[in-house]
């Protein structure tokens, strides 16, 4: 921790989608711990309220699969905050399905939550970021965007779309003083994928990292915080790996 820890985001107003638990929960906590005013958007009411209470923030219920609801919730958050300085799009779902079994309904749901909702929340945030001539957008992709993986075609494709969408945003809104980057985590032990996790699977993933371990929510939250700070002001359009070296491109 640096000597100035606790105040580096004072006065900054942040929206964190998927902030009720897991990686998003830790990002919300980390930004609030640096003085940011945080609103969590999530579909999990109990967890969302608890997380918001713990960090002195607020919670708004939303189903990001529904574009109208996504816009309503993001707009409500932006109004409560009086503007948005930081938008972290962390909500996402995973599905592990054989390609031969993958339905278009499943594909559409993954793209609706993992990608399309980002478009909506970014459009809402831009309504105040563009006039303010500043803003930080951080979108959660995955190493699956760069690596692919068997039985995760829809997930990997949706995360590659996140990377491409974020690059386009960086180009289009850079002239307005807004940076947009995506983070590509490796394997982090959260609720995501917990139903199919085995000790053998975890050991296999650990062995893939030169550092010999899986990622933690803190590993990802630390990079998200960096992307909010002045020190990263010249970084935009990047897809940053937080994979313990499992992916290096």
Ligand X SMILES: NC(=O)c1ccc[n+]([C@@H]2O[C@H](COP(=O)([O-])OP(=O)(O)OC[C@H]3O[C@@H](n4cnc5c(N)ncnc54)[C@H](O)[C@@H]3O)[C@@H](O)[C@H]2O)c1
Site string for ligand X, 186-225 (x = CB under 6 A): -xx-xxx---------------------------------
Query: Binding segment for ligand X among 20-28, 127-135, 163-171, 229-237 (CB under 6 A)?
Result: 20-28
- Indicate whether 23 belongs to the interface with ligand X (CB under 6 A): yes
For residues 17 and 91, the answer to whether their CB atoms sit within 8 Å is: yes
- Indicate whether 44 belongs to the interface with ligand X (CB under 6 A): yes
- Indicate whether 116 belongs to the interface with ligand X (CB under 6 A): no
Alpha-carbon distance of 236 to 12, in angstroms, equals: 19
Active site residues: 155
Q: How many residues bind ligand X (CB under 6 A)?
A: 26
Task: Name which of 36 and 138 has its Cβ closer to ligand X.
Answer: 138
- Indicate whether 91 belongs to the interface with ligand X (CB under 6 A): yes
Residues that bind ligand X (CB under 6 A): 18, 20-24, 42-44, 62-65, 90-93, 113, 140, 142, 185, 187-188, 190-192
């Amino acid at each position: 921790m640096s000597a100035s820890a606790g105040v580096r985001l004072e006065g900054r107003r942040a929206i964190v989608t998927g902030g009720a638990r897991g990686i998003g929960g830790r990002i919300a906590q980390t930004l609030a711990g640096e003085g940011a005013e945080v609103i969590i958007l999530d579909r999990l009411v109990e967890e969302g309220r608890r997380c918001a209470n713990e960090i002195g923030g607020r919670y708004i219920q939303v189903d990001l699969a529904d574009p109208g609801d996504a816009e309503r919730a993001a707009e409500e958050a932006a109004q409560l905050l009086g503007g948005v300085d930081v938008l972290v799009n962390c909500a996402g779902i995973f599905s592990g399905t054989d390609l031969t079994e993958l339905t278009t309904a499943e594909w559409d749901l993954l793209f609706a939550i993992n990608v399309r909702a980002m478009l909506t929340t970014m459009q809402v945030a831009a309504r105040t970021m563009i006039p303010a001539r500043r803003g930080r957008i951080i979108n959660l992709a995955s190493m699956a965007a760069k690596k692919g993986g068997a039985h995760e075609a829809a997930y990997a494709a949706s995360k590659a779309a996140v990377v491409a969408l974020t690059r386009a945003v960086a180009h289009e809104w850079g002239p307005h003083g807004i940076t947009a980057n995506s983070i590509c985590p490796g394997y982090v032990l959260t609720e995501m994928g917990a139903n199919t996790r085995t000790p053998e699977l975890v050991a296999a993933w650990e062995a893939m990292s030169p550092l010999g371990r899986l990622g933690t929510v803190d590993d990802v939250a630390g990079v998200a915080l960096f992307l909010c700070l002045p020190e990263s002001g010249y970084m935009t359009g990047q897809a940053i790996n937080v994979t313990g070296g499992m992916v290096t491109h």
